[in-house]
């Protein structure tokens, strides 16, 4: 099945209904394995104790916060270059999920920071650039909610997504610069350069599990968005018909 066939929303809906149960099952299975590995196999850190388990949630969320922006960029290209109708839906559905992952990365990082650094928040380079990324997600969501016509909103959001993608590395670089200017690197101790296999394997399993979770949520959100648009069109038609009936 070529990508162009999916331009037909009905076809996508059938595919989504067929794929979703498998995705849900696979996600649940991987989370079961990943959580088991996290809590029973991966050793506690000699310094951090059990608190290090937060990492297995925190790192996949942080990775997804950027991965979802990448998905939105591909969708934005689909909207602007190929006018693929499904790309609009994909971009719109991805934004809140990406914002949620970014928020979770910030929140878990903050909870991790409290026992380790003694504070919930430091103006560290990574934290700050993820915060800016979170603001950009919120901006995109706000843009989607401002425009009534979905296809017009899609094109505006697509341009902003691409501009954001160009800017994310620049923001990251400048925040790094700013950080080294303002405070010495006291927070991250050098050390543990190579991650041990007993930690790496659970981490990778959790990363794949979270990625599958994103795929599941994304497909489900796209299906909901298509159905929502159908309802909107039906309502508009109905209103028009009632108007015509009243006039007659």
Partner 1 sequence: MPLRALLIRDIRIALRIGGGALTGVLFFLAVVTLIPFALGPDLALLRRIGPAILWLGALLASLLTLDRLFADDQADGSLDLLLTGRTPLELVVVTKAFAHWLTTGLPLVIAAPVLGIMLNLEPDALVIVMLTLLAGTPALTFIGVIGAALAATLRRGGLLLPILILPLTVPVLIFGVSAANATLTGPMPFGTPFAILCALTLFSMVIGPFAAATTLRQGAE
Residues in contact with partner 1 by the rule CB under 8 A: 80, 132, 135-136, 138-139, 142-143, 146-147, 152, 155-156, 159-160, 162-164, 166-167, 170-171, 173-175, 177-178, 181
Closest CB 244 distance from partner 1, rounded Å? 26
Q: Of 27 and 65, which CB lies nearer to partner 1 in the complex structure?
A: 65
- Give the nearer residue to partner 1 in terms of CB position, either 171 or 204: 171
Q: Least CB distance from residue 111 to partner 1, whole Å?
A: 24
The least CB distance from residue 186 to partner 1, in Å, is 17
In the bound complex, what is the minimum distance in angstroms from residue 159's beta carbon to partner 1? 5
The answer to whether the CB of 136 falls within 8 A of the CB of 144 is no
Q: Measured from the CB of residue 108, what is the shortest distance to partner 1 in angstroms?
A: 22
Min CB(76)–partner 1 separation in Å? 11
Q: Give the C-alpha separation, 86 to 200, whole Å.
A: 36
d(CA 98, CA 103): 9
Tell me 38's DSSP state.
I
Kindly tell me which of 167 and 198 has the beta carbon lying closer to partner 1. 167
By the 8 A CB rule, do 112 and 55 touch? Answer: yes
Nearer to partner 1, 16 or 127 (CB): 127
Cβ distance to partner 1 smaller for residue 51 or 160: 160
Most distant pair of Cα atoms in the chain: their distance? 81
d(CA 77, CA 96): 19
What is the C-alpha separation between 132 and 171, in angstroms, rounded? 8
Q: How far is the CB of 177 from partner 1 (least distance, A)?
A: 7
User: Toward partner 1, which CB reaches closer, 120 or 173?
Assistant: 173
> Which 8-state DSSP code applies to residue 120?
S
What whole-number distance in Å separates Cα of residue 174 and Cα of residue 139? Answer: 21
Compare residues 55 and 68 and give the one whose CB is closer to partner 1. 68
Is 45 strand, coil or helix? strand
CA distances from 45 to 48, 201, 245 (A): 5, 15, 73
Whole-number Å distance between alpha carbons of 248 and 243: 9
Beta bridge partners of 45: 49
Query: Which structure tokens are listed for 234?
Result: 């039906």
């Amino acid at each position: 099945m070529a990508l162009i066939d999916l331009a037909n929303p009905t076809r996508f809906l059938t595919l989504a209904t067929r794929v979703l149960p498998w995705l849900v099952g696979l996600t649940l299975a991987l989370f079961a394995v990943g959580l088991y590995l996290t809590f029973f196999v991966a050793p506690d850190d000699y310094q951090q104790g059990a608190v290090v388990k937060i990492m297995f949630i925190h790192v996949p969320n942080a990775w997804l916060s950027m991965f979802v922006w990448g998905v939105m960029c591909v969708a934005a290209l689909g909207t602007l270059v190929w006018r693929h109708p499904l790309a609009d839906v994909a971009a719109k559905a991805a934004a809140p999920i990406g914002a949620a992952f970014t928020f979770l990365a910030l929140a878990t990082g903050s909870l991790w920071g409290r026992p380790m650094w003694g504070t919930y928040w430091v103006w560290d380079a990574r934290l700050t650039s993820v915060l800016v990324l979170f603001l950009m997600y919120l901006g995109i969501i706000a843009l989607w909610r401002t425009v009534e016509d979905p296809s017009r909103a899609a094109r505006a959001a697509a341009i902003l997504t691409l501009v954001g993608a160009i800017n994310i590395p620049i923001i990251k670089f400048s925040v790094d610069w700013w950080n080294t200017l303002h405070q010495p690197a006291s927070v991250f101790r050098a050390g543990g350069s190579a991650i041990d296999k007993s930690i790496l394997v659970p981490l990778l399993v959790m990363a794949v599990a979270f990625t599958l979770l994103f795929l599941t949520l994304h497909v489900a959100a796209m299906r909901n968005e298509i159905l929502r648009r159908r309802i909107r069109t039906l309502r508009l038609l109905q209103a028009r018909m009632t108007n015509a009936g009243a006039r007659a």
